[in-house]
Structure 1
């Protein structure tokens, strides 16, 4: 695709997130005309796709051209909301129509997880830059194909792990890398989600008016429509996602891996189940502990729904536990809690260093920056990083689903256990095939 030239207007970036402020920022031209804009299509506009778009539209370089969703009700709602800010877009329920449009520079993918890989690979092949929601893929094989596609087509791929763009997260990791904590032998990462209640069992129903259910299912197993599996709650069913492990794990475990400069684990074991809501409609475990063995340290992941009081009194976070002290990090900030020796602190305590910025808006701005510069090394969450942590999270789920301690052979990119290897690739149905680059 022929790339246009752009006028950098990063200094005009606003931290507010409300849609009401879109018009003033998008109307400020700084000498640009429509052909100078980065023209964006959004595929999947109900949840994070919409959040990502509203963040992008805070930047005057971005212009939303078209929206795609298989639910016409969602499309109508978003078109009306954009119209309030004098933004007019076209719509479609077929993402291929967006990819065929030569005037579209980049796409945002906010679909359920089971669509991420295919749409990303198709978009890259069509010459589009891509912002794809986390987790990058819904299986290890899918993540690997997404990396291969980026390398083949040399397009920008940013994964929606927006914490990588926040200052306090970077500062915390710099402290871990300073060595002041001493030998870090254990890292804990967790997500306790008290707001998550049971999902009542519901009967299958007719497909809602305006929904193209076959397009929503895509490569997933053909099943009758059930409201529990649609929109937000798709996260708790193996056909489409990986539960809290891949929903929140990719955020928290990502920082555990960054802090420890870790690659892949040697072994993984996991235990849990539906202990909070054993009879509700979800499939993925509401309570889970996974232990990853790396060279020189263990990484422990845990999640629980219906509970807010996680480790260190935090609903989510990462703790680097060293001989001299522990650094605790989450979205609100980070602090250092010293170990004691003879009643004295081994290192100086660091009081809570609070978050000072808007990670999502910084992350989308970074995406636009790299679209302009073509400096892939400047991406905060390139597909290589997003695929890495998604694969680690998939390993935890695979250990849980096999009920075994499993071992990873990094030289072969496989487990040593045949049962575990059955989960390496997502199964595609309904005439779809997993992309092969």
Structure 2
């Protein structure tokens, strides 16, 4: 069988699977035009997102951007080999130059969190549709600006909260939640008990010549260089992200909001901090509880980067408690547990090893998450084709991101907060309102909704 024929069958199969989950209107390979795509941030997850897109749609990779020349060259080799193209791929150290010279139709953003907002806005303004990893911002006003840009320039922006496209969770929403098996829901618990906080304490080092550390830092505070920030070291610092709230809670909170049709919380409160003694430099909370309050419903989050999980089957998960039963969900599985003598339902995550055998050779791939990302990409493309909103539209990504940021602010200030998105202020709290926008390092200029 020829490569083109095999690719046709695989992509048609992916589209069929997608249409079985949603009425996308995409029924065959031929309706998808070949798109010019660029990737900003060529680390582990940036490449993973691009590989998933390559598996379900015809694309031309017109540029890669990274401030680490070694990482950029490695990505170019891997992506070139996967695409089968022998053409030299344009490589950039500054994403602005890539946007100006290549004019991509689609931009995937896989850079660290502190870059998401600026890069998304610049890509939107250049005319591109954007797939941006979560969280969309590290402060609330950044997120408002990305949303404003997407709407002003009429671009599709899909956020990488792919639980909304996870096959077994799509099934759970349809067959459990929407079907009314839970009854009235009054309580939700969400958690992460992974020991994922980096507690190391590396010495200061000379900046290697292959890394543009000033550009890597961008608008964030400039920390003394103490080693390559890739693959998680940067996540140990609030300078570059929103801690475990912005990394892990956002996924589960976003999934719950999608499942239950929830918008902005009525109020947000949080407590926590660094409770364990350790010699590391990390300044993110190792223990935190947050409450996202709605009318007659609390969504409660807890993470600990130490100790044992409250439920070993669901160490990173949500549990939705209804009057008729409970739905437990995670990237790996779901369980419906009815009250009384009803029928229990269990589903495991979908793997597609036979359909996509190249997944098995991909370094560090999350095999259980690959089907969800493929469907998320197809949903993104369907929105571009039809001119609609994707399942993880930028507004939904903003609500989930900002809510987690506000939880961190509540923890810092020691009081509950209520955000008014229409006025872009924390109601009755001038101090908290002042924290909605953090100071940028020059010469970078903080974006605002009215000036994008």
Shared fold by TM > 0.5?
A: yes
Match of 2:405 in 1: 394
- Residue 332 of structure 1 and its aligned partner are, at CA, apart by 1.6
User: 2:63–2:102: 8 Å Cα contact kept in structure 1?
Assistant: no
Alignment of 1:349 with 2:343, yes or no, is yes
Greater mean alpha carbon deviation, residues 115-124 or residues 355-364: 355-364
User: 2:198–2:236: 8 Å Cα contact kept in structure 1?
Assistant: no
Match of 2:20 in 1: none
Q: Deviations over 1:153-178 (max 9, x none)?
A: 00121111112112221222232233
Match of 1:193 in 2: 194
Match of 2:372 in 1: 359
User: 2:168–2:347: 8 Å Cα contact kept in structure 1?
Assistant: yes
1:370-381 → structure 2 map (5 Å cutoff): 370-371=383-384, 373-377=385-389, 379-381=390-392
Q: Deviations over 1:19-78 (max 9, x none)?
A: xxxxxxxxxxx899xx95211110001121111011111134122121100000101111
Q: Deviations over 1:93-139 (max 9, x none)?
A: 01011111355211111111111111111111111111111111111
The CA distance in 2 between the partners of 1:103 and 1:279, in whole Å, is 47
The CA distance in 2 between the partners of 1:197 and 1:122, in whole Å, is 32
Q: Deviations over 1:338-370 (max 9, x none)?
A: 23xxxx43xx23321222251011112222333
CA distance change for structure 1 residues 387 and 336 in 2, over 3 Å: closer, same or farther?
A: same
- Pick from 69, 73, 91: which aligns with 1:72? 69
CA distance change for structure 1 residues 178 and 42 in 2, over 3 Å: closer, same or farther?
A: same
CA distance change for structure 1 residues 197 and 413 in 2, over 3 Å: closer, same or farther?
A: closer
Other structure's SS at 1:421 match: helix
CA distance change for structure 1 residues 9 and 37 in 2, over 3 Å: closer, same or farther?
A: farther
The CA distance in 1 between the partners of 2:434 and 2:249, in whole Å, is 22
The CA distance in 1 between the partners of 2:398 and 2:391, in whole Å, is 13
The CA distance in 2 between the partners of 1:204 and 1:258, in whole Å, is 44
Other structure's SS at 2:264 match: coil
Alignment of 1:324 with 2:324, yes or no, is yes
Match of 2:250 in 1: 250
User: 2:197–2:286: 8 Å Cα contact kept in structure 1?
Assistant: no
Greater mean alpha carbon deviation, residues 259-268 or residues 408-417: 408-417
CA distance change for structure 1 residues 291 and 36 in 2, over 3 Å: closer, same or farther?
A: closer
Supply the RMSD in Å over aligned alpha carbons: 2.5
- Pick from 409, 414, 431: which aligns with 1:419? 431
Other structure's SS at 1:207 match: coil
CA distance change for structure 1 residues 412 and 369 in 2, over 3 Å: closer, same or farther?
A: closer
Match of 2:49 in 1: 52
Other structure's SS at 2:42 match: coil
User: 1:327–1:334: 8 Å Cα contact kept in structure 2?
Assistant: yes
The CA distance in 1 between the partners of 2:235 and 2:104, in whole Å, is 29
The CA distance in 1 between the partners of 2:128 and 2:9, in whole Å, is 20
Match of 1:227 in 2: 227
User: 1:275–1:286: 8 Å Cα contact kept in structure 2?
Assistant: yes
TM-score (norm 2): 0.83
Match of 2:91 in 1: 91
- Residue 387 of structure 1 and its aligned partner are, at CA, apart by 0.9
Q: Deviations over 1:237-279 (max 9, x none)?
A: 1111011101111110012212332222222221112234543
Alignment of 1:403 with 2:389, yes or no, is no
The CA distance in 2 between the partners of 1:271 and 1:188, in whole Å, is 16
User: 2:40–2:66: 8 Å Cα contact kept in structure 1?
Assistant: yes
CA distance change for structure 1 residues 298 and 197 in 2, over 3 Å: closer, same or farther?
A: closer
- Pick from 425, 433, 437: which aligns with 2:445? 433
Aligned length: 406
TM-score (norm 1): 0.86
The CA distance in 2 between the partners of 1:406 and 1:42, in whole Å, is 37
Greater mean alpha carbon deviation, residues 328-337 or residues 266-275: 266-275
- Residue 228 of structure 1 and its aligned partner are, at CA, apart by 7.0
The CA distance in 1 between the partners of 2:72 and 2:308, in whole Å, is 34
Unaligned segments of structure 1, at least 5 residues: 1-6, 16-29
The CA distance in 2 between the partners of 1:197 and 1:232, in whole Å, is 9
The CA distance in 1 between the partners of 2:410 and 2:30, in whole Å, is 55
1:242-321 → structure 2 map (5 Å cutoff): 242-276=242-276, 278-307=278-307, 309-311=309-311, 313-321=313-321
